[in-house]
Structure 1
Amino acid sequence: MLRFLVRRTLGALVILLIVSMITYALFFAIPADPARLYCGKTCTPENLALIRHDMGFDKAWPVQFWNWLSTIFTGGTFNGVHCSAPCFGYSFAKQELVGGILADRFPTTLSLTVGSAVIFLVFGIGTGMLAARKQGKATDKIASSASLLASSMQIYVAGPLALWLLCYSTNLLELPKYVPFTEDPLGWAGGLLVPWIVLSLIWTANYTRMTRSSMVEQLSEDYVRTARAKGMSGSSVFMRYAWRGAMGTIVTVFGIDLGVLLGGAIITETTFSLQGLGELAIHSFRDSDLSLLVGITVVAATLIVFFNIIVDAAYALIDPRIRLA
C-alpha cells in the first residue's frame, strides 16, 4: 500500500506540473493584455512598461512560470507584501496574495459541496437500492422514470426556478448566502439550503440510476446465485454480496464528482451568487488575472487527483478481489 501511495503521489505531482504549465501557456494565447488593463485609459508607454516589469510580463512565459513555481517552495515578496511558502503568487487585480483569496473563498465551495453530497448520496443510493430490490415492479418504474427526468435538468434552469418558487414567490426559504458555520450553524444551513436542494435533485438522479444498474448487475452474478442456492436469505445476499460488489462503481464516480465539485462549481455559484472558487474563476479570467487563475486551476486539479488516489486506495478495502499491484 505504501509503495502504491508513493507512486501515485509522484504521478500526481507530475500531473499538477503539466496542468499548471498548460494553464500558463494558454493564458498567453489570450489577446488581452493584463498590463494595459491595469494601466487605465490614460496609460503612457513608460507606465505600461513599468507595470509589465512589476508584473513580470516583460519576460518569456517559461521564465515567468519558473519564477511562479519557485515561489511555491521558497516564498516571495510582492508589492512589499511577504508571502511565505507555499506561495501561489500575487493578484495584481485584487492587490492581495492568491493564497489568502483562495482561503477566503474555499469554505463557501466546501460547504456547498459537502452539504449537497450528503443529501444526494443518502437519497440517491437509497432510492437506487430500493429500485434494484423491487426490480420490474411499480417502485422500480417510478424511481427510474423520476431519475431520468431529474437527470435531464440543468442547474441554470433548475436554479432560477427554485429561487422563484422557494424564495421570491412563496418566501418559504431565504435567499442563498454563505454564513460561516462557526458563527451561526443554523444560518449556515439556511443560507445554503436552496443550492443544496437543487444540486441534490440533479445528482440524486444520477446516483439512483448508477446504484440501480450496479445492483442489478451484481444480483445476476454467479456468486450471488450460489449464495441464494445455499439458503441465504434475500436480505443477507442483497446487503452482504450485491451491495458490496456495487460499491466499487459508486465510490469511483463519487470520488471524481467530489473533486470536481470542490474544485469549483462555476455554474452553481454563479446562479446563486455565492462567492466560492467557481465564481472566483470566472472573475479571474475576465480580469486576466494570471496568478489567481493558475492558483484556482492548481487547487481544482489537486482536489481531483487527491480524491482519485483515495478512491484507488479504497478499492482493496471494498473488494478483496482487487489488488494494488
Structure 2
Amino acid sequence: MLRFLARRSLGAIVILLLISAITFFLFFALPAEPARLACGKNCDPASLAIINKNLGLDQPVPVQYWDFMVGIFAGRDFPIGRCDAPCFGYSFVNQEPVWGTIVDRFPTTLSLAIGGAAVFLVVGVGIGMIAAWRRGTWIDKFFSSLSLLGQSMQIYFVGVLCLAWFVSGLSIMEQPAYHPITENPAKWFSGMVLPWLVLSLIFMANYSRMTRSQMVEQLQEDHVRTARAKGLSSRTVFFRYAWRGAIAPIVTIFGMDLGSLLGGAMITEYTFTLHGIGRLAVDSVRLTDLPMLMGVMLVSSGAIVVFNIVVDAVYAVIDPRVRLA
C-alpha cells in the first residue's frame, strides 16, 4: 500500500509543478502590464519602477518563477516586507499577502463544499437505489425523469430563481451569506442552506443516474444470481452483493467532485455572493493578479490531486487487485 501511494504522490507532485509552470509563463504572454495596473491611471515612470522592484517584476521571468517556487517552501524577502512560508507573494492589486487572503476565503468554500456534498451524495445515491429497487415501476420512471430534469438545470439559473422566490418573494429563507460556525452555528446553517440545496440539485442528478445504472448492472451479475439461488433474501442480495459492486464508480466521481468543489465552486459563489476561493479565482483573472491567481490555482489543483490520491487509496482497500496493477 505504501509503495502504491508513493507512486501516486510522486505523480501528483509532477502534475502540480507542470500546472504552476504553465500558469506562470502563460501569464507573461498576456499584453497587460501588472505593475501599471497596480500603479493606477496617473502613474509616472519612477513610481512604475518602484512597483516593479517591490513586486519582483524587474527580474527575468525564469528567475521570477524560481523565486516564487522557493518562496512556497522557504519564504521570501520583498522590499515591502518578509513573506514567511508558505509564501505565494503579495497581490498586485491590494498588496495583501496571497496566502493570508486564501486562508480567509477558504472556510466559505469549505462550508459550501462539505455541506453540498453531504446533501447530493445522500440524496442522489438514495434516489438511485430506490429507482433500481423499483426498476420498471412508476417510482423508477418518476425518479429517472427528475434526475434528467436536474441534470439539465444550471446553477446560475436555478440559483437566481430560488433567490427571487424564497428570499425576496416568500421571505422564508435568509439571504445566503457565510457566518463562521464557531461564532454562531445556527446563523452559519441558515446562511448556507440555500446554496447547499441548489448545488446539490445539480450534482445529485448525476449520482442518482450513476447509482441506478450501476445497481441494475450489478443485479445481473453471476455472483448476484448465485446469491439468489442460494435462497438469500432480496434485501440481502441488494445491499450486501449488488451495492458493494456498484460503489467503486460512485467513489470515483465523489472524490473528483469534492476535490473540485474545495478548489472553488465559482458559479455558485458568484450567484449567491459568497466570497470563497472560486470568486477569488475569477477576480484574480479579471484583475490580472498573478500571485493571487497562482495561489488559487495551486490550492485548487492540490485539492483535486489529493482527492484523486484518496480515491486511489479507497480503491486499493475495496479491490486488492488495484494495488497489484
Same-fold call, TM cutoff 0.5: yes
Q: Which amino acid in 1 is paired with 2:312?
A: D
Distance 2:82 2:228 in 1: 67
Q: Distance in 1 between matches of 2:224 and 2:246?
A: 12
Partner in structure 2 of residue 256 of structure 1: 256
Q: For residues 52-101 of structure 1, what are the alpha-carbon distances to aligned partners after superposition, in whole Å with 9 as ceiling and x for unaligned?
A: 22222222222111110011121013344322222222213122111110
The answer to whether the aligner puts 1:277 opposite 2:291 as a matched pair is: no
Rate the CA distance shift 1:83–1:53 in 2: closer, same or farther, 3 A: closer
Q: Residue 157 of structure 1 corresponds to which residue in structure 2?
A: 157
Partners of 2:7 and 2:215 in 1: CA distance: 33
Partner of 1:35: 35
2:204 is matched with 204
Q: Report the equivalent of 2:265.
A: 265
User: Residue 23 of structure 2 aligns with which residue?
Assistant: 23
TM-score normalized with structure 2 length: 0.97
- Farther off after superposition, 24-33 or 123-132: 24-33
In the alignment, which residue of structure 2 is the partner of 1:51?
51
* SS class of match (1:283): helix
CA displacement at 1:50 relative to structure 2: 2.5
> 1:220 aligns to what?
220
Structure 1 unmatched ranges of 5 or more: none
- Does the aligned pair in 1 maintain the 2:128–2:207 contact within 8 Å? yes
Alignment of 1:99-118 (within 5 A): 99-118=99-118
C-alpha deviations, 1:262-318, integer Å up to 9, x for none? 101111100100000011111111221111100000000000000000001101322
Question: Do 2:34 and 2:92's aligned partners in 1 also have CA atoms closer than 8 Å?
Answer: no
In the alignment, is the contact (CA less than 8 A) between 2:128 and 2:210 conserved in 1?
yes
CA distance in 2 between counterparts of 1:211 and 1:139 reads: 15
Tell me how far 1:45 sits from its aligned partner: 2.1
Q: What residue number does 1:296 align with?
A: 296
Partner of 1:311: 311
Contact 1:244–1:319, Cα closer than 8 Å, also in 2: no
The corresponding residue for 1:63 is 63
Q: How far apart are residue 125 of structure 1 and its match? A: 0.4
Paired residues, number? 325
* CA drift at 1:255: 0.3
Q: Aligned partners of 2:123 and 2:41: how far apart in 1? A: 54
- Aligned amino acid, residue 302 of structure 2: T
Could you list the per-position Cα deviations for residues 117-163 of structure 1 after superposition, in whole angstroms to 9, with x for gaps in the alignment? 11111110001000001111111000000000011000110010010
CA distance in 1: counterparts of 2:138 and 2:322, whole angstroms = 36
CA distance in 1, matches of 2:162, 2:74: 47
Letter in 2 for 1:185: P
TM-superposed CA distance for 1:2, in Å, is: 0.5
The TM-score with structure 1 as length reference comes to: 0.97
Write the distance in 2 (CA, Å) between the matches of 1:124 and 1:184: 29
Moved more, 16-25 or 282-291: 282-291
Whole-Å Cα distance in 1 between the matches of residues 297 and 198 of structure 2? 25
322 and 40 in structure 1: CA distance in 2 versus 1, 3 angstrom threshold: closer
Q: Tell me how far 1:244 sits from its aligned partner.
A: 0.6
Equivalent residue number for residue 13 of structure 1 = 13
Q: Secondary structure at the match of 2:312?
A: helix
Partner of 1:230: 230
Partner of 2:172: 172
Q: SS in structure 2 opposite 1:90? A: coil
SS of equivalent to 2:323 = coil
Is the CA contact (8 Å cut-off) linking 1:210 and 1:250 kept in structure 2? yes
Q: Report the 3-state secondary structure (helix = DSSP H, G, I; strand = E; otherwise coil) of the residue aligned with 2:82.
A: strand
1:321 CA displacement: 4.8
Q: CA 1:306/1:259 → structure 2, altered by over 3 Å: closer, same or farther?
A: same
- 1:124 and 1:206 in contact (8 A); partners too: yes
Paired letter, 1:224? V
Deviation at 1:171, TM superposition (A): 0.2
Counterpart CA distance in 2 for 1:39 and 1:94 is: 10
Matched to 1:256, the amino acid is M
How far apart, CA to CA, are the structure 2 residues paired with 1:85 and 1:55? 17
Distance of 1:88 and 1:34 partners within structure 2: 16
